[in-house]
């Protein structure tokens, strides 16, 4: 937003939350000093831009340890975050996105995310963005009432419900525990439209923003409208709209292969 425009004109647009996503090439757990230095500089630049935009959160893939081990990788991520917050004062929260668990990516389970959160000195600058596709791919099921309740109990006992500041509402093309980051349109994957019911109907998330990262086609943004309609139908208890043709995105895998080198 231009600094002369209060709130970036949000009241006029109806926009209540603004989230931006960090570039995919950064790896805050990189064991090589030169690559880590570049990733830290990129985070500081992105954080400064998010502050100028008046964003509420900066979503970030924590990184991959590339063989140094989870302990060393998490320690490096925490040090990177603390250094960035010291260099770039402000109010934007970095929202760590849970990982699907491909390769040596970190943040694939509640324990790893909790250790990152607890290591950050300024708790006002950190939070979590839960990606539903990544949850399923990492082996954390939530599609039934029972499994959803189990996941909520786990969140409450580890990272804390209050740390969850955003959702990426994506269906999953690959099955439970596949560790493959392949997004699908809502209702066209392994989660299915009904599998989102717990997240959508739980009033504890009523003010938590959700973002679609689902595939598009030559119809432009029409698929987003259909995905939103299926999710919104769950608010009223109505049957979700007809299941779309199975369609997935391999772009996440391509990004993942390139970003961690």
Asked whether residue 1 is domain-assigned, the answer is no
pLDDT score of 256: 32
- Give the predicted TM-score (pTM) of the model: 0.88
> For the chain, what is the domain count?
1
Asked whether the beta carbons of 129 and 96 are under 8 A apart, the reply is yes
Residue 242 placed within a domain? yes
Q: What is the pLDDT of residue 241?
A: 54
In a domain, 123, yes or no: yes
For residue 145, what is the domain's CATH number?
3.20.20.150
Confirm whether 38 is domain-assigned. yes
DSSP-derived secondary structure letter, 241: P
- Residue 87, pLDDT score: 98
The pLDDT score that the predictor gives to residue 44 is: 98
Residue 198 within a domain: yes
Element (H, E) at 21: strand 19-21
Q: How far is CA 178 from CA 98, 135, 207, 243, in A?
A: 15, 10, 31, 22
Six-digit token string for 257 = 């292969």
Does residue 196 lie in a domain region? yes
Q: Which domain holds residue 114?
A: 6-259
Query: Which pLDDT value is given to residue 251?
Result: 41
Please name which of 160, 154, 151 lies closest in space to residue 117, comparing C-alpha atoms: 160
Instruction: Identify the burial level of 21 via C-beta atoms within 10 angstroms of its C-beta, where 0-12 means exposed, 13-18 middle and 19 or more buried.
Output: middle
Mean pLDDT by 10 residues, the chain (261 residues): 57 82 96 98 98 97 98 99 98 98 98 99 98 99 98 99 98 98 97 97 97 90 94 79 51 36 38
235 is a domain residue: yes
Q: Which residues contact 44 (CB under 8 A, 6 or more apart)?
A: 84, 87, 88
Q: Tell me, yes or no, whether 188 lies in a domain.
A: yes
């Amino acid at each position: 937003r231009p600094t002369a425009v209060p709130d970036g004109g949000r009241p006029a647009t109806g926009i209540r939350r603004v989230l931006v996503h960090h570039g995919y090439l950064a790896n805050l757990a990189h064991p090589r000093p030169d690559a880590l230095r570049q990733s830290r500089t990129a985070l500081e630049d992105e954080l400064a831009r998010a502050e100028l935009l008046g964003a509420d959160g900066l979503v970030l893939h924590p990184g991959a340890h590339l063989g140094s081990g989870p302990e060393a990788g998490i320690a490096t991520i925490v040090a990177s975050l603390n250094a960035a917050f010291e260099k770039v004062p402000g109010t934007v929260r970095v929202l760590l996105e849970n990982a699907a668990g491909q390769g040596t990516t970190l943040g694939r389970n509640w324990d790893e995310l909790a250790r990152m959160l607890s290591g950050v000195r300024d708790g006002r600058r950190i939070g979590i963005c839960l990606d539903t596709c990544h949850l399923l791919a990492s082996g954390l099921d939530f599609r039934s009432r029972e499994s959803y309740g189990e996941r909520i109990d786990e969140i409450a006992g580890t990272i804390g419900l209050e740390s969850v500041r955003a959702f990426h509402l994506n269906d999953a093309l690959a099955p439970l525990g596949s560790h493959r980051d392949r997004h699908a349109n809502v209702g066209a994957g392994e989660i299915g439209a009904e599998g989102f019911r717990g997240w959508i109907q739980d009033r504890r998330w009523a003010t938590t923003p959700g973002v679609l990262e689902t595939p598009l086609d030559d119809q432009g943004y029409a698929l987003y409208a259909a995905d939103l309609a299926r999710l919104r139908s769950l608010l009223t208890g109505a049957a979700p709209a007809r299941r779309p043709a199975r369609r997935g995105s391999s772009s996440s895998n391509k990004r993942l292969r390139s970003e961690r080198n």
